[in-house]
Structure 1
Amino acid sequence: MIQSMTGYGKTVLQFSTKKITIELKSLNSKNLDLNVRIPSYYREKELDIRKKLASNLIRGKVDFSVYIENNGGEASSKINENVVREYINQLRNIVDSDEIELLKIAAKLPDSLKTEKEELDEKEWNKIDEAIDKTIKKIILYRTDEGRVLLKDFEMRIAIIEELLNNVIELDPKRIENVRAKLKKGIYELEAKVDENRFEQELIYYIEKLDITEEKVRLKNHLDYFVKELNEQTSNGKKLGFITQEIGREINTIGSKSNFADMQKLVVQMKDELEKIKEQNLNVL
């Protein structure tokens, strides 16, 4: 089953002093473009997070974020009382002002606040790690649902191209007869004397050059192969892209050989459907 590269997942954890939100978003990209935003005290786990995301999401422009909202508890930054008092004493020797004004000035000076480094709590991290797994499952489910929509669209457009191909096959004898008639008419209009046997040989040679039997067979095989890959267990948008290139090659060859307006109209319609498939395939994992 194919998957889309577009996806979204979110998990919220509630602790006694804070709420942690884990968010995953992904869009289409040729390769894996991974952006991780996490608080500084989780940095030692970043490599593990990246490995986990890469092994599960494979491809796409992926944004992973961890947001923290404090609900209360001790602040990580505290007033450095000794430093602030020393600042105030020094300022009192310089300016004559009340204690409040001196405190306002001292609070803005370097080292007036000291930040205590928050250590990683392994029990807390284990819960966060489980939440990351849940979020990955959510985004994969989202991608799978989007993939079902793409699958229906692909199957519809492949069916349209197959129907147009059948019309080309039905029209082919008429095309050959039309080519034969045009060549004979051209010769007769020249009022030139021709060797009928020689003319027939040249005519057969020319018509063989315009023969599209192989292209019709190959195009049908490529269409069947595309549908087969759509229903494989592993989503492979790159492989589908290669198959669409082969489909396009056969359609173009049929168009260049057709030399018949009615068939060229069918070829244009096939090209239009194929371009829509290529556009949608850019979003397939």
Structure 2
Amino acid sequence: MIAAMAAAAALFFLLWWMLQEEENSWIPAGLAASVVLLVAALARLMVARRDRGRLRDHNSFSGEPYSSSSRRLSSSPMHSISLHTAALRSLQKQSAEADARDSGEVHRELYDLCVEYLAGADKALQSPRTQADGRVALRAGQERVRELQKHHLLTWARVSAQTLTHEAQQRVRLYEKVETANRALNCIETALKVYPNEEELNISARAVREFITSSRVAHWVELAERAAFKGYLQRSIDCYRDALFYLSRDRPGPAGETAAEKITREIEMLRARLDREGAITSAKGTNRRVRRRP
């Protein structure tokens, strides 16, 4: 800094001597000297900040506290407990707000927050500095958060599946119906990975699968009916067979058996009709050959 002051003074006298013929020549000389001092002060400030940053990084790397305040926070086990208590209160408040809104995405976010809380609580319990009363409070908080976690994951799966299933019902094309319904099924299966014995999830999954099967069967039955109406009997039989394939694969049970029996009767009727038309065509061909004989 002394060198900067000396340089500023030298610059001041140099400019003042060069600008003696000008009026108020000391003004530009003083401004130039002030600029030199200002630049020197800024450079000194930047160097000091860099040195403090290096010292802070060194202390954090070596594990030594940088100040007495940080030492008090890191050495107090109740500080982490208070953080978890505040986080628990925030979770409970957000949980009530999510229940009021009943939005699937909000419930999923709350589930993720519960996962983060439980992970942080586990780390605090593993710390040897956590006192006995703090461990009791953490375990009690974990129990409450696990209940919230299950509630929000199940609610997310239910709301998302209902929304996507309703959207699938509004679709016209089969592949759009199946794609949207599979998204609903993925939500349910995600929750089932965490709670595999939850009966509500299993019932919802079966309902979505039945919807997918019903959509496929209805699609092929409609194609079969159109083909039969246009007189394409063999094509109609093939479409009915495709419907039977999805029924036998995806819907075992009484309902599937009843629908399969109905489709089987339709196939038998079409085959009988096809045989009659074939016999009539064959008879007409025979009569024509007889008439052509001399």
Work out whether the TM-score is over 0.5.
Answer: no
Higher relative contact order (CA 8 A, sep 6+): 1
Hey, which of these two has a bigger chunk of strand by percent?
A: 1
Hey, which of these two has a bigger chunk of helix by percent?
A: 2
Query: Normalized against structure 2, the TM-score is what?
Result: 0.26
Query: Normalized against structure 1, the TM-score is what?
Result: 0.27
